[in-house]
Amino acid sequence: MNVLGIETSCDETAAAVVRDGTYLLSNVIASQVDIHSRYGGVVPEVASRQHLLAAIPIIQQAMSGASAGWGDVDAIAVTIGPGLAGSLLVGVNVAKAIALARGLPFIGVNHLEAHIYANWLEGEQPQFPVVCLTVSGGHTDLMLMKGHGEYHTLGRTRDDAAGEAFDKVARILGLGYPGGPAIEQAALGGDGSLHPLPRAWLKGTDDFSFSGLKTAVLHLVQENEGIAAADVAASFQESVVDVLVAKTVDAATRLQARQVLLCGGVASNQALRHAMTERSPLPVHVPSPLLCTDNAAMTASCGYFRIQAGESSGWDLDVEPNLRLA
Ligand code: KG4
Ligand code: ZN
């Protein structure tokens, strides 16, 4: 079964064709980062207008990249949330229009669930039960997944998401937008041991907290004029990685999971990937960086497994900007 995935939840217009939920036939992503970077963050109205311009050409590229005609597509999967309402609306309406014109079934997909399914697109298939850490711009969720579509939330951030903390600290350090890759790059040339930063362990829970760390960075920078941004970036990244890895490994061993899965934009961070792999006694599955950040291949994969479970959407499908998972 070939599924066309469409993803427009934030600032990437993406389309992909995936066979049987696991085999990538094409994966096309148009980033709007250059347009939003001059504002220091995503401007929602600008994002939806860009999606309108990019959606059809990107879908056409995904189809030709997969050497697929419409007769080769069996279903459409589209992100319905969480995300920016205006951006999501573009994807959902394009998906419905194609579904109507071509007589195809379609399914609305939760973007957070889709991030998890990036783990089904490469390498060996994950073995349940897994403990999955989703770290993106808006979420830091630790979940136990016992089977397809079976989620139990263990913990989540009580304030800033991990990606949000990267973005805010990058701004404090004047490293630009998006913050995650900028901090990772700066940290390569820094010494994280020069300015130790705190870790919020929230012992006895699987929850996270990053706003205190962000405030500690702010004070450190304000009180030490001329401090090297690279050293602060390295120390900040060490603190975030330490907490994410320790709490994920603790939960996975405690719950006797078979594997640890990582996903979401922050999972493209090499320091996090290395530390998780080094410190986990269980096998760690993490998608390649291009499948960690927003893409439509994960949407197509997730949609495939929902369709396999007997689900589909109707014409009343709508966007759900605040959608949650479990
Ligand atoms: O999953 P994603 O692409 O979009 C959302 O669903 O939010 O995640 C975007 C977030 C941003 O906060 C970005 O700064 C962060 O992921 N990010 C990174 C890296 N690449 C992206 N954070 C740390 N290191 C990176 N290399
Ligand atoms: Zn995302």
Instruction: Report the CATH number at residue 247.
Output: 3.30.420.40
Query: Is-cis flag, bond preceding 178, omega within 30?
Result: yes
The total of structural domains in the chain comes to 2
pLDDT at position 64: 98
List per-block mean pLDDT (blocks of 10 residues) for the chain, which spans 326 residues.
98 97 98 90 94 98 98 98 98 98 98 98 96 97 97 98 97 93 98 97 98 98 97 98 98 98 98 98 98 98 98 98 94
317 domain residue, yes or no: no
* 184 and 224 share one domain: yes
316 domain residue, yes or no: no
* 90 and 157 share one domain: no
| Nearest ligand by distance to the CA of 187 | 1
122 domain residue, yes or no: no
* 45 and 153 share one domain: no
Distance CA 145, CA 143 (A): 6
Pocket (CB within 6 angstroms of ligand 1): 10, 136-138, 163-164, 166-167, 178-181, 184, 264-266, 268-269, 293-294
265 C-beta neighbours (distance < 10 Å), count? 25
pLDDT at position 222: 97
323 domain residue, yes or no: no
* 79 and 203 share one domain: no
pLDDT at position 41: 87
Ligand 1 site-directed mutation target among 141, 166, 244, most atoms within 8 Å of CB: 166
* 88 and 145 share one domain: no
For residue 80, give the nearest of 106, 103, 54 by alpha carbon.
Answer: 106
For residue 24, give the nearest of 314, 205, 308, 290 by alpha carbon.
Answer: 290
* Residue 304 contacts residue 6 (beta carbons within 8 Å): no
* 236 and 265 share one domain: yes
Nearest 5°: CA angle at 179, between 174 and 183? Answer: 80
* 263 and 301 share one domain: no
For residue 241, give the nearest of 211, 199, 203 by alpha carbon.
Answer: 199
* 165 and 97 share one domain: no
* 161 and 70 share one domain: no
Atom 2 of ligand 1 has which residue's CA nearest to it? 265
178 domain residue, yes or no: yes
pLDDT at position 261: 98
What residues make up the domain containing 86? 2-117+292-308
- For 216-257, write each residue's pLDDT tens digit: 999 999 999 999 999 999 999 999 999 999 999 999 999 999
